[in-house]
Amino acid sequence: MEKIQTGFRFLYRFLGFIVLTISFLISAFRIHFKTKDPVERMNRFSANAHYFTGVVCRFFNIKIKVVNEIPKNQPGLIVGNHMGFIDVLVMNSLISSLFVTSNEIKETPFLGLLCEMGGCLFVERRSRMNISNELNEIVTYLKKGFNVILYPEATSHNGEEILPFKRTLLTAAAYAQVPIRPYCFNFTSINGDPFNLKYRDAVCWYGPISFAQSFISCASLKEVVVDVEFVEPVHTKPGDDRAKVADHVRELIVKKFRPVRPA
């Protein structure tokens, strides 16, 4: 009986996700063609993604607890740990923002289109040749009043530990004269059980796990409970040591992180 219920749950959510995705893309393409100003277009892309990710979180029964909410009208470089697409949905549902993601995602069929229509900023993580232009783009949008979400790990992890932070893009906050706002994302429970190895691969998208495999596993779950805890903002200056800033921000997040438990 449980397998039948799980199958129906997945089918219901899959069909619903298709409907929501089509609706999102229709509204995003309308924005794209009707909004000539590129900054206003990004603003509307961001607001549109904010609305639809909130609907998706509710549809997938992802329950969110926020600790120490941040002001939504004060731009900042929002920095946190990354375990897959669930934390992207959650953060986008909480804050209308622009996400920094990789050109590899942009080049991925379907995902790339969703990210582009969601107002993402793309960086080439496979090469540092264009890093200064990418940094300048982030600084520009921060100065224009956008919240920008950055994952300094530069990849998602498996819930065991937070990876070392890349440094360069963190300096965007200093150049834009906005704070770094660190947060820690934790899975609290899955299907009523504490986050453990039994469910790890159903909610974490990492390594060799394909997006399709991760999506199917996630869509089959009854309930996912997460918490997002913001810690004190970090104010930096352009001349600050990048390594020390990155290590300090990471340490603030690590202190709040709860690793996956044994099954």
Residues 6-36 pLDDT 10s: 889 999 999 999 999 999 999 999 999 999 9
User: Is residue 259, in this structure, part of any structural domain at all?
Assistant: no
- Average of per-residue pLDDT across 77-96: 96
Distance CA 185, CA 157 (A): 12
Give the total number of structural domains in the chain.
1
The answer to whether the beta carbons of residues 131 and 222 sit under 8 Å apart is no
User: Is residue 262, in this structure, part of any structural domain at all?
Assistant: no
User: Is residue 260, in this structure, part of any structural domain at all?
Assistant: no
- Average of per-residue pLDDT across 175-193: 97
Q: Per-residue pLDDT for 216 more than 80?
A: yes
CATH at 7: 3.40.1130
Kind plus residue range of the DSSP H or E element containing 78: strand 77-80
User: Is residue 73, in this structure, part of any structural domain at all?
Assistant: yes
pLDDT category of residue 227 using cuts at 50, 70 and 90: very high
Nearest to residue 78, comparing CAs of 18, 147, 153? Answer: 147
Q: Which residues contact 87 (CB under 8 A, 6 or more apart)?
A: 80, 81, 185, 226
The answer to whether the beta carbons of residues 141 and 38 sit under 8 Å apart is no
Which of helix, strand or coil describes residue 224? strand
Could you tell me the pTM of the whole model? 0.93
User: Is residue 204, in this structure, part of any structural domain at all?
Assistant: yes
User: Is residue 208, in this structure, part of any structural domain at all?
Assistant: yes
User: Is residue 83, in this structure, part of any structural domain at all?
Assistant: yes
pLDDT of residue 175: 97
pLDDT of residue 81: 97
Give me the phi and psi of 36, to 5 degrees please.
-80, -40
Q: Which two tokens stand for residue 218?
A: 């996630």
Distance CA 38, CA 137 (A): 13
Domain ranges, residue 54: 2-254
Distance CA 126, CA 238 (A): 25
pLDDT category of residue 102 using cuts at 50, 70 and 90: confident
C-alpha separations of 97 from 94, 111, 128, 142, 263 in Å: 9, 18, 24, 10, 35
User: Is residue 137, in this structure, part of any structural domain at all?
Assistant: yes
In the DSSP assignment, the letter for residue 238 is T
Q: Per-residue pLDDT for 263 more than 80?
A: no
pLDDT category of residue 124 using cuts at 50, 70 and 90: confident
